[in-house]
């Protein structure tokens, strides 16, 4: 078995392993949210529908990629040189395999940006630039990748596709790094404030670093870096490596949605701080009222 075959086999097995883990996570998430009846609120219903949409799209992508894998194995087209010359039907399937992750990426990006909107006190100005950039970038990617993948057999298209993919991926990575860095910084600042007001009680709401990593969306960027490293180490695959990492990327918004549905997000810490502060102010005013001398009758 050649080196290409080994890398291809490892990537394929990783894809089905990560999808299996993601499927179990998705089912458990539905059970937990149903048990807590977290879908009663309108925003949680939107979260739930988004989570289901991401799972369906991820499943469809894995199925399409399986068709491509079976095709290239049966026709012995594992050599990357043959990649631009696959049959038109397989090139169309491959276009779908790449287009679906772009759509999933956009849904995930919007959810993470929405979390940014919530974390930063629902300030619209802070999310406008990343939202516009990610919308334009994903729209450009969707149109460009589909066209180049379908016309990949034409001269110059493989090189153009590679440059387009690198540009889109790099911009998407930079946008997500910026958003997640801002989210993590704001969460860290809020936790410090919570420690001053709630003391040790803050651990009841937000108690470990992993929770901050999940809610900020840092796992999403880690998955993107893993994909980037893989493409740098094995730059000429017989088919795209992207579906192997897609379940990891899809799991990130799922975990965020579950935390939001269970009410263990940073806004719950903020609500606790506001409640305690208001109670302390009320108690202080009551004490001052009691200290004031009664007016003469």
Tokens coding 92: 């169309």
Distance of CA 122 to the CA centre of its chain: 20
pTM of the model: 0.77
CATH 1.20.1070 fits 3-269, yes or no: yes
The string of pLDDT tens digits covering residues 226-285 is 888 887 877 766 667 788 888 888 888 888 887 776 766 665 555 555 555 555 555 555
- The 3-state DSSP class for residue 197 equals helix
Q: What angle (nearest 5°) sits at the alpha carbon of residue 79, between those of residues 75 and 82?
A: 75
Tokens coding 88: 């038109």
Domain spans of the chain, in order of start: 3-269
Contact 241, 247 (CB under 8 A): no
Cα 193 from Cα 217, distance rounded (Å):
21
The string of pLDDT tens digits covering residues 37-50 is 654 555 567 778 88
Distance of CA 280 to the CA centre of its chain: 39
Nearest to 129 by CA among 113, 105, 112: 113
């Amino acid at each position: 078995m050649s080196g290409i075959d080994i890398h291809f086999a490892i990537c394929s097995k990783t894809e089905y392993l990560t999808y299996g883990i993601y499927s179990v996570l998705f089912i458990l998430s539905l059970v937990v949210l149903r048990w807590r009846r977290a879908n009663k609120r309108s925003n949680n219903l939107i979260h739930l529908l988004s989570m289901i949409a991401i799972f369906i799209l991820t499943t469809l992508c894995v199925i399409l990629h399986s068709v491509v894998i079976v095709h290239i194995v049966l026709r012995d087209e594992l050599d990357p040189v043959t990649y631009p010359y696959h049959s038109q039907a397989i090139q169309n399937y491959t276009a779908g395999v790449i287009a679906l992750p772009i759509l999933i990426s956009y849904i995930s990006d919007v959810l993470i940006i929405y979390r940014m909107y919530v974390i930063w006190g629902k300030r619209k100005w802070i999310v406008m630039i990343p939202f516009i950039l990610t919308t334009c970038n994903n729209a450009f990617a969707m149109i460009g990748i589909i066209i180049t993948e379908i016309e990949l057999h034409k001269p110059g298209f493989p090189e153009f596709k590679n440059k387009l993919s690198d540009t889109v991926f790099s911009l998407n990575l930079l946008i997500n790094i910026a958003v997640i860095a801002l989210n993590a910084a704001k969460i860290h600042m809020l936790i410090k404030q919570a420690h001053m007001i709630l003391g040790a009680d803050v651990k009841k709401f937000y108690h470990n670093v992993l929770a901050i990593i999940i809610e900020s969306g840092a796992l999403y960027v880690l998955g993107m870096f893993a994909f980037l490293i893989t493409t740098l180490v094995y730059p000429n695959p017989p088919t795209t490596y992207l579906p192997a990492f897609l379940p990891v990327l899809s799991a990130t918004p799922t975990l965020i949605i579950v935390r939001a549905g269970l009410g263990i997000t940073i806004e719950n810490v903020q609500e606790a701080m506001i409640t305690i502060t208001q109670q302390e102010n009320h108690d202080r005013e009551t004490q001052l009222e009691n200290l004031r001398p009664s007016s003469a009758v």
